[in-house]
Amino acid sequence: MASKPLICRRCIRKLDPRLIPKRLYHEQWIQHKTFADIEWTNRAAEIAQGRRKSMLEIFEERGYVHQIAGGRDELDQLLNNKRVAAYVGVDPTAPSLHVGHLIPFMAIFHMYLHGYGAVTLLGGATAQVGDPTGRTSEREQLDNVERKNNISFMHQQLGAIWQSVERLAVKYGYQKHRYWKRALLNNNVWLNKVPAHEMMKLMGTGLRMGSLSSRDSVKNRMESKDGMSLAEFCYPMFQAWDWWHMYQSIGVQIQIGGADQFGNIITGIEGVKHVAKNHPHQDVRIPPETENWQPMGFTVPLLTTSSGEKFGKSAGNAVWLNREMTTPFDLYAYFLATSDVDVEKYLKLFTFMPMESITDLMALHTPTPEKRLAQHRLAHEFLELAHGPIIAQETADEHTNRAASRREISLSAAMAQVTPTAQHEKPISWSLNKNAPRAMAKNTHAETQEITLDLLSTMTYPALLHHVGLVASRSEGQRLVNNQGAYVAWYKSELDDNLQWRAIRTTKAGSPVKPVVWNGPDSKMGLLIVRVGKWNVKMIRVTREDPSAMTIVDGGLDAEEGQDVGANGTADPTDTIETEKKLNAFSREV
């Protein structure tokens, strides 16, 4: 009788993971899994009897479902009968997520809170290829340093958001079970190891050129002057390989993406099915009689502007979740500006509030919409998810205080705020803020900014607005001044402690010097406050070397400088780095 061939340790590592001997499980772990399976069976029975909403019904009720790949009834049955895992992926083409990214992530967060496996995937490798979906030109290639920085920043950001999800789960009464499993992965782990010929052999043979070429994103690019690169054309296959790797290793059976990802999800389903049916290793192939094995997916609606334009980095209108790229104050203001028509929809999409609580809140909001109760709750909930409860509450308080004093500001309080103290020396990484002028990049998003009197005396108001980060360009500042959408705080008199908003109407060089209020005749520090729109206020600490160069400016107002504006501002036009250990741990327990 022939003996079995021996395999050395080095060779066994090259075998398919399914062929490597599995670890033995402890009896207690088996008992827990058995209990969890029974609990899931009981849950499915409650759904079938109408005593509990299915996961798909919850998705539809909150507005997460745009298109389903694989059939609605089939997806509903899969979610009811099997504790499947799902994933959402994002390529780190920027150092931060933006608001538009959060909708598919919110869907998978809800799945996690209802007991499903959840994977958030960073496309460290696919970012080097570039997703052509929704683009009219090829993505600009990132250098390795920038790409690695983006991966690091986004990895930390997603980790912090997951911690917020855990806190919000406790806040809203979700009982955590040991089978709540999540993972944050990077496709560098496997795509950097798989040979190109192996991917083509296993998956490329199952993807048809006709279906890939028929997609609008491909057609539009092929008809353009620059055409489409082979790398971009093959991007859906790399994304499909991600799905296959997670499907066979940790049981990820569902993909969730934005509305523009429907074509890539369809390609992924085709690719995973082909490999599952035709894999050369029999232990990896899925037998035809297996139930509930087919991959499925769905897309969520895209977040768009009122004109229907997509939000995002490519569109140039992204609202970032990084505090240095979009301040918590600006992020809060963005949601505070939500229209009454959209606020209920956003509460369902961006929060974990129960539907009953949203209904009750809207009942309070509707009679007095000017109080913006729903918008404040939406902004607070979103900041609690993105930045944590402390920053959310501090930002809400700051908005309340500024709203109360938008007409007049206390000079003494403002002076106290701009006086240099330890609290103004917070370290800020200006490398994330690429749009800030270099002279002010260090403190563009700081609460208090500093500028010298010599520099200020050479500047116009549009240049100042750009310099302190209130507008993206001088031309934008010029348009705001022309439309009386920018304001400066003026000191009325020594008998009154209040500063009053005046609309800026001049663009002469040196004009911003006139409203500077000095702390005294010999003081080296002065105060200048400017505002864009209703909420975006910057306090500027003005410094000078020679105190005798200027005295306190009188509160009189030149006709060219502007006029008083009401509290509502009637002239305001703007009312990976991960290891295989994580995969193995997730695979054992999902």
The answer to whether 97 and 157 are in contact (CB under 8 A) is: yes
Confidence at residue 72, expressed as pLDDT on a 0 to 100 scale: 95
Q: What is the DSSP string of 429-488?
A: -GGG-TTS-GGGGGGTTSSEEEEEHHHHTT--HHHHHHHTTSSSSHHHHHHHHHTT-EEE
Q: Give which of 340, 140, 138, 98 is closest to 227, Cα–Cα.
A: 138
| Top-tier CATH class for 414-549 | alpha beta
Q: Quote the CA–CA distance of 468 and 490 in Å, as a whole number.
A: 18
By DSSP bridging, strand 85-90 and strand 117-122 are: parallel
Q: Which amino acid is at 95?
A: P
Q: Give which of 255, 256, 247 is closest to 277, Cα–Cα.
A: 247
Q: What ranges do the domains of the chain cover?
A: 67-135+143-302, 328-406, 414-549
Q: Quote the CA–CA distance of 303 and 317 in Å, as a whole number.
A: 11
Q: Quote the CA–CA distance of 44 and 53 in Å, as a whole number.
A: 10
The answer to whether 502 and 564 are in contact (CB under 8 A) is: yes
26 burial type by CB count under 10 A (0-12 exposed, 13-18 middle, 19+ buried): exposed
**254 — phi, psi (to 5°)?**
-130, 135
Say how far residue 558 (Cα) sits from the centre of its chain: 45
Q: What is the DSSP string of 12-30?
A: HTTS-GGGSPPPPPPHHHH
CB neighbours (10 Å) of residue 219? 12
Q: Which amino acid is at 445?
A: H
33 burial type by CB count under 10 A (0-12 exposed, 13-18 middle, 19+ buried): middle
Supply 460's token pair.
């116009």
Nearby residues of 566 by Cβ (< 8 Å), 6 or more positions away: 407
Nearby residues of 80 by Cβ (< 8 Å), 6 or more positions away: 44, 47, 48, 54, 55
- Which letter does DSSP use for residue 94 in this model? S
Q: Give which of 273, 263, 280, 284 is closest to 214, Cα–Cα.
A: 263
Q: Quote the CA–CA distance of 25 and 377 in Å, as a whole number.
A: 46
3-class DSSP assignment, residue 389: helix
**Which single residue is written with the structure tokens 């500042």?**
477
Supply 301's token pair.
């609606």
Q: Quote the CA–CA distance of 67 and 57 in Å, as a whole number.
A: 14
Q: Give which of 216, 97, 116, 68 is closest to 158, Cα–Cα.
A: 97
Q: Quote the CA–CA distance of 107 and 380 in Å, as a whole number.
A: 19
Q: Which amino acid is at 395?
A: T
CATH topology of domain 328-406: Tyrosyl-Transfer RNA Synthetase (1.10.240)
Nearby residues of 511 by Cβ (< 8 Å), 6 or more positions away: 460, 461, 561
CB neighbours (10 Å) of residue 178? 11
Q: Quote the CA–CA distance of 237 and 240 in Å, as a whole number.
A: 5
Say how far residue 275 (Cα) sits from the centre of its chain: 33
204 burial type by CB count under 10 A (0-12 exposed, 13-18 middle, 19+ buried): middle
Q: Quote the CA–CA distance of 484 and 481 in Å, as a whole number.
A: 5
Q: Give which of 576, 575, 397, 572 is closest to 502, Cα–Cα.
A: 572
Q: Where are the alpha helices (DSSP H) in 49-186?
A: 55-62, 72-81, 102-113, 144-171
Supply 529's token pair.
């406050």
By DSSP bridging, strand 408-410 and strand 498-503 are: antiparallel
Q: Give which of 339, 452, 331 is closest to 382, Cα–Cα.
A: 331
Confidence at residue 51, expressed as pLDDT on a 0 to 100 scale: 94
Strand partners, 183: 119
CATH topology of domain 67-135+143-302: Rossmann fold (3.40.50)
Considering just the CA atoms, what is the radius of gyration of the chain in Å? 28
Confidence at residue 107, expressed as pLDDT on a 0 to 100 scale: 97
CB neighbours (10 Å) of residue 339? 10
- Which letter does DSSP use for residue 303 in this model? P
Confidence at residue 434, expressed as pLDDT on a 0 to 100 scale: 42
**pLDDT per residue rounded down to tens, the chain (590 residues):** 555 566 676 665 555 555 555 666 667 777 778 888 898 999 999 999 999 999 999 999 999 999 999 899 999 999 999 999 999 999 998 999 999 899 999 999 999 999 999 999 999 988 888 766 655 556 677 778 888 999 999 999 999 999 999 999 999 999 888 788 999 999 999 998 988 888 899 898 888 877 777 676 666 666 666 667 777 788 889 999 999 999 999 999 999 999 889 989 999 999 999 999 988 888 888 887 788 899 999 999 987 655 565 655 554 567 899 998 888 988 998 999 888 999 999 999 999 999 999 999 999 999 999 899 999 999 999 999 999 999 999 999 888 876 665 555 656 666 665 566 534 444 333 334 444 443 333 333 445 678 888 898 899 999 999 888 888 888 888 988 988 889 988 776 555 566 778 889 888 888 888 888 876 666 778 888 888 877 677 888 888 865 444 433 333 333 334 444 443 344 333 334 444 555 555 655 54
First to last CA, the chain: 41
Q: Which amino acid is at 523?
A: S
Say how far residue 40 (Cα) sits from the centre of its chain: 32
Please indicate whether the domains covering 67-135+143-302 and 414-549 agree at the CATH topology level.
Answer: no
CB neighbours (10 Å) of residue 192? 10
Q: Quote the CA–CA distance of 539 and 541 in Å, as a whole number.
A: 7
Phi-psi map region of 174: left, alpha, beta (phi>0 left; psi -120 to 50 alpha): beta
